[in-house]
């Protein structure tokens, strides 16, 4: 099963750029730990993953009544804090949950990827 793992700033910590170099290093270390853990878990493969530019770098498109409006910024307040994502192959939800516990600096939303084939 494929899972989309959305990583959002958890509100307890300041935004990435406002972290000290030590805190940033600790954050990056979690990603390293995550990758290592995925490598040894049966049935797990990291299919993709990226760090995203911050909410201020976002551009939003909305189509209403046939007209496309292009605006600066993320499309919802919650979306401001999204900092990255992973796309994972895994056997079940509990496997993903266990792995995501490593990424404790984030609030995480796990969505199944639907097989529309």
Partner 1 sequence: MTRTRRLDLAEDALAEAFSRAAERWPRNGVPANPAGWVYTTAHRYVVGRLRAEATAGRKAPLIAVRDGWQPAQDGPDEPADDRLPVILLCCHPAVPTESRSALALRLVIGTPTEQIARLFLVSTPTMAARLTRAKQKIVLAGIPLGMPFDEELRVRLDEVCRTIYLAFTAGYTPGDGQGLVRADLADDAVRLALVLHDLAPDAVQVRAMLALLLLQHSRRDARQRDGRLVTLAEQDRSKWHHDEIRAGLGLVAGLGPGDGYGEELRLQALIAAEHARVSSADATDWHMIARHYAELEARTGSAVVRLNRAVAVAEAHGPHAGLALLADLDELLGASHRLPAVRAELARRAGDIALARASYRRAVERCANEVERAHLTARLEALG
Nearer to partner 1, 76 or 93 (CB): 93
| Contact status: 95 vs partner 1 (CB under 8 A) | yes
Give buried/exposed letters for 27-49 (b at 16+ CB in 10 A, else e). beeebeebeeebeebeebebeeb
Shortest distance (Å) from residue 59 CB to partner 1: 31
Stretch that binds partner 1, among 18-26, 46-54, 70-78, 94-102 (CB under 8 A): 94-102
Q: How far apart are CA 91 and CA 114, in angstroms?
A: 14
Does 100 interact with partner 1 (rule: CB under 8 A)?
no
Q: Are residues 50 and 61 in contact, defined by beta-carbon separation less than 8 angstroms?
A: no
Query: Which of 35, 37, 108, 110 touches partner 1 (CB under 8 A)?
Result: 110
Q: Is 77 in the site for partner 1 (CB under 8 A)?
A: no
Backbone region of residue 65 per phi and psi (left: phi > 0; alpha: psi in -120 to 50; beta: other values): left
DSSP classification of residue 113? P
Interface residue with partner 1, options 12, 18, 22, 42 (CB under 8 A)? 42
Which residues form the interface with partner 1 (CB under 8 A)? 1, 3, 42-43, 90-96, 110, 112, 114
């Amino acid at each position: 099963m494929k899972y989309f793992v959305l990583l959002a700033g958890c509100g307890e910590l300041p935004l990435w750029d406002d972290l000290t170099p030590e805190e940033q290093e600790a954050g990056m270390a979690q990603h390293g730990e995550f990758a290592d853990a995925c490598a040894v878990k049966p049935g797990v493969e990291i299919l993709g993953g990226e760090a995203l530019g911050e909410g201020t770098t976002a551009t939003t498109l909305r189509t209403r009544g046939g007209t496309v409006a292009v605006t600066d910024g993320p499309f919802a307040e919650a979306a401001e804090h999204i900092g990255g994502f992973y796309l994972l192959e895994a056997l079940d939800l509990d496997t993903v949950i266990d792995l995501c516990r490593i990424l404790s600096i984030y609030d995480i939303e796990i969505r199944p990827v639907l097989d529309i084939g």
